[in-house]
Chain A
Amino acid sequence: MDQIEPDALYDEREDVSRARPILQGDVFHGVVLPGFGSEPRRVQVVAHPCAMRTGAALTPRITVAPVEPHELVTGSGWQGNPRIMPLAALVEGKHFATKFVDVTACPAELLLRDQRIATLSNQGIYVLQQRLIKHYTRTKMPLEALRSESAPVLTEAELLRDWLERVLSEDEISSDDALDTETLAFEQWMREGSPAPQQRLRIEVHHADVRREAQRAAAERVRVRKV
């Protein structure tokens, strides 16, 4: 299995943008997991991006796994621990790991944007997916295949974040309602037309074009909101 250093693993730590949609690999703190006692825990979302939303809304429950302190995993340790996802230097330089054997369904309302403490880079998401596949099936999946498979959904997540940051003010981004409303507007745009932008994202040749169109549509949305 592939190894990844903290600088490449994470996209954001501690200071996580509220405009980034909740995605596979996100780490939350202060979550009281049903069936795991009353102690607030750190958890990592392990659900595939395609399995955690119905339209723009999160599914009622999302699969997560508890994150616990763990010794730093180095070198061959990445090969020999398929039951965990190493999370080096996650909080204040301390090392943690996600325990796949304790995967459980977490009510989506417990995964609050303000309690998100880390997000993964795309490469980090592929490494997490690779370890999950190995854990459940003993199959080693190359990262390149995971990259190709995930390209449409991760591109859409990136477009949504761009849209929200472009359309909403800083104050609005701090409001869940404003983020949810604007997420719906984005989803509506993604499904308009034939073929709709969401359909066109299925082929990479259209990705650059859809990004340009999304920026123009977001600019138009800014104009409309001002009127």
Chain B
Amino acid sequence: MTVTTSGQATGTSAGGVADYAPSAPNATRALSLRADYLRTEVDMHAGEVQELHGEVREHDLADRSLEKSRKSVANLLEELASDRGMGWSDIAEVVGVSVSAVRKWRKGGLASPESRTRLARVAALLDVLEEKGVIEDPAAWMEMDFTLEPGYFIRPLDLYLEGHVTELIELAEHRQTTAQVLDRVRPNWRQSRSDFEVVLDTDGERSIRRRDE
């Protein structure tokens, strides 16, 4: 084995692999250990940071919801339906009542405190989604099917109804892909793929057809 001095370990000698200073392996090993340690630290903190971020988001949403819930039910409905352009059937689904019940509230009918809270929460979420700056029209985004392969019919609204609010914000912030979020909240989502797809037909209306394999 050829031994070289550190001054020769410049890559210019013809010594090849053996042309390293005796101290180089120790320095590299130390660097490697340092990198291992830092990576472990980062991985550990990443989980904590994500958890903290989630908690902060929940607090933020709760604060905003509380603020919104000071509005009358009629005003909350005005905000959701008129300003945001949310459909009555989606609003009713979010609150868990019939469309006719929501229409009565709009005209001054009494809603339960739970219903008001649910209206306030979705109004707060739409604000958050818009403020993130990625989703221009959050009410429209909520009712669109995710861009997945044909045969999947999953909307952000469906995830909201299942309580996955944090995941929706993650999507809006582009921190995770749709598939990553669905893997987490609906582990069997790939098995839900339908044999059918919806297409725009020749008469200009939508139709359902068996999708091509």
Contacts and interface: CB of A to CB of B under 8 A. Distances in A.
Interface of A: 7, 10-12, 17, 50, 121-122, 141-142, 144-155, 158, 162, 165, 199, 202, 204-212, 215
Given A142-B196, A154-B89, A208 B137 contact: yes
Contact of A148 (B87, B139, B153): B153
A208 B204 CA distance: 20
A150 B87 CA distance: 14
Contact of B204 (A149, A154, A202): A202
Contact of B98 (A11, A204, A205, A212): A11
Given A11-B98, A151-B143, A211-B81, 11 more contacts: A121-B92, A145-B153, A145-B196, A148-B153, A149-B206, A158-B87, A202-B204, A204-B145, A208-B85, A209-B137, A212-B82
State the main secondary structure of chain B at its contact with A: mixed
B205 A158 contact: no
A147 B196 CA distance: 12
A165 B92 CA distance: 18
18 contacts: A17-B103, A121-B92, A142-B194, A144-B153, A146-B208, A147-B153, A149-B208, A150-B206, A158-B88, A158-B89, A199-B204, A204-B140, A205-B144, A208-B85, A208-B137, A208-B143, A209-B140, A212-B82
Nearest to A165: B103
A202 B176 CA distance: 29
A132 B89 CA distance: 23
Interface string B150-175: 00011000000000000000000000
Contacts of B179: none
A11 B100 contact: yes
